[in-house]
Amino acid sequence: MTDPTDPDEPEPFPTAIPASPFPPRGQEMQPVPPGAADPPSDWNVGADAHDLSVRQETARPNALLALGRFAFPPGPPPDDEGVAARDRRWTTRAIAFATLLMLVFNAASIQNWSRQQPPGWITSTVQQLGDVWSAQLTQLGADRPLQAVRDAWVSFQRLGFDGQKRPEDTAV
């Protein structure tokens, strides 16, 4: 068993709060006089961002971070074939997700596409399947976002400019 008063034992959740990198509120930054040594803080006008340390010095190391590196060490970097396979998986998932979103929220495009094709067995089957699919999604309410965007666009088109004749005002 370990001694709970041992200062070298890491805590399970680090509570040391590092000093703020920002100056206190209400104080202005003072320029460093030429020839003077830089103060230990980086809050001076003549500071160069490239002179700053990239590491955070804390009072004690982060025990959880060290445990994570020990328990789950990073694997070797993937070779070209591994990178290509990872990219193909990502692309496949992105295309499948976009297709699923389009099938659910833009079911009317299936019907429109099938109506634009020349008549035949395949297009009539796709049109019937599209009608059934669209009816099912309408019952679920998946067509509401598309209808809201369409209604907003129509109302925006009807606004027009002051003094402009609106389409419903003109006689056809």
| pTM metric for this prediction | 0.46
Task: Determine the pLDDT at residue 133.
Answer: 93
Single-letter residue type at 41: S
Which helix (DSSP H) or strand (DSSP E) does residue 84 occupy?
helix 80-105
Q: pLDDT tens across 22-76, in order?
A: 666 776 666 667 766 655 555 555 656 666 565 655 556 677 877 887 888 888 8
Closest CA to 133 of 114, 156, 161: 114
Task: Determine the pLDDT at residue 32.
Answer: 63
What average pLDDT score do residues 87-108 get? 94
3-state helix, strand, coil in the chain (%, to 5): 50, 0, 50
CA atoms of 167 and 12, how far apart (whole Å): 70
- Using CA atoms, how far residue 103 sits from 17, 49, 121, 132, in Å, is 50, 50, 22, 13
